[in-house]
Chains A and B, each alone.
Chain A
Amino acid sequence: MAMVWARLAFIVGILSLFHAGYSAAQHRAYLRVTEQEYTALPTDISVQGLLSLLLAMYGILHIAGDFKEIRANVQLQNKSWETVGNRPTFYTFAHRGRALSPNYVMPPSSSPQDMVETLPS
């Protein structure tokens, strides 16, 4: 739900910012036509520009997702050697976990002694 509000705030903010810019351009055009000297933007336009910028910033900060920790080692804090030491490209499949599979067939061998010797270390 918060996400919807953030999105709405962002869209409204951007549109309003665009509107403020357009108003400023209109104001300059009006001054040129009426041949007045340009001094400063009317307060309502600058206030609108500032407020809509803040609104858009608020919206984008919530849309972009959670912040990441700036310290480099924080992500590793909760990792164990089990995950860091795991190397997917070097998986070998000739391991004893095979025997747990439902369709495992015992290799033919004369005695358990032989099996131990042929097992890869």
Chain B
Amino acid sequence: MATLDLDWEEVRDQLRAWREDNTRHSEEVVDTWEHCLKHYKTKLGDERWMVEEQVFVAGLDCNRLDIADPCLMALNEQFPGSLRVRKLRAMRFEALEKFDEAMEVYDNIIRQDETNSTARKRKVAVLRGQGRITDAIKELTEYLKLFMSDSEAWQELCDLYLKEGDYSKAAFCMEELILSNPHNHLFHTRYAEIKYTQGGLDNMEIARSYFCQAAKLNPGNVRALYGLFMSCTQVLSSPKLSAQKKKETQQLATWALKEVSERYSRCRTNTMDGSKILETLGALSITDKA
């Protein structure tokens, strides 16, 4: 394919935005690099090395070693002996599934620089890539003992516990994340979902209040609204519920349902009928109370 008709400055800004937002977009990064930015890399100035690193990781992610290798070579030439570049080389081993070699490089980096957190995190990723989830959890808990405020690592640990089906521990990790970022509605939603999955009346009530909080933080979070509806119906299905509580929960459920159906009717198309949505939502509910 010939050079796409793209403005290289626009592409650079887009890549920068992706880098700062921590979004993945590996395929797009590789494509725009290949068809546009590659020809302007000398114009990037000091930002070039950040872009090369980004493209390298994206290239590994898409299994495009033909894209990744030149970037690694350029970085190696620019920063010989840099630990960060050595980490990238180990990531290349990972992509080639040479896990032992990668592990060795990471161990070397840690020996040289004990405070290097990325190498420790990569070791967890290596174990995960091999499918050794329990080992990865062990490694990651060791890491979190040293670097307790790393929210990314807590997220990863939560994810690993979820993979293992250990919901109570996953919920604990999510609690840590909520503590570190109480304004993030997504963490609240996630926590509520974990509690909902655990089941039982107590957990359902916790899930309900966290779905409420998420919906309060971001009224546009439909997932939280729907979760609220679902957890309310679950709570209602419990026999040991006082009349007062029952009434409140009932009201909450109707409110959540109303909000969801309103959102749907606002972006309704001709093929979609608002009343149909309500029916479908009811049908999706796990508790069959009809």
Contact = CB atoms under 8 A, between A and B. Distances in A.
A14 B231 CA distance: 61
A119 B131 CA distance: 8
Contact of A89 (B63, B121, B184, B190): B121
Contacts of B183: 72-73, 76
A100 interface: yes
Would you call the interface of chain B mostly helix, strand, loop, or mixed? helix
Contact of B22 (A80, A88, A92, A94): A88
Interface in B96-134: 97, 118, 121-122, 124-125, 128-131, 133
Contact of B190 (A81, A83, A94, A97): A81
Contacts of B163: 121
A33 B122 CA distance: 76
Given A79-B186, A90-B125, A91-B60, 4 more contacts: A72-B183, A85-B159, A93-B60, A100-B63
A98 interface: yes
Interface in A70-121: 72-73, 76-77, 79-94, 97-98, 100-104, 119-121
Interface residues of A, number: 30
Contacts of B128: 90, 92, 120
Contacts of B118: 89
B46 interface: no
Contact of B186 (A84, A87, A89, A120): A84
B218 interface: yes
22 contacts: A72-B183, A73-B183, A73-B185, A76-B185, A79-B186, A83-B21, A83-B22, A84-B184, A85-B190, A86-B22, A87-B22, A87-B152, A87-B155, A90-B152, A92-B128, A92-B129, A93-B63, A94-B94, A94-B95, A97-B63, A103-B65, A103-B66
Given A73-B184, A87-B152, A90-B125, A100 B131 contact: no
B63 A121 contact: no
Interface in B227-281: none
Nearest to A119: B131
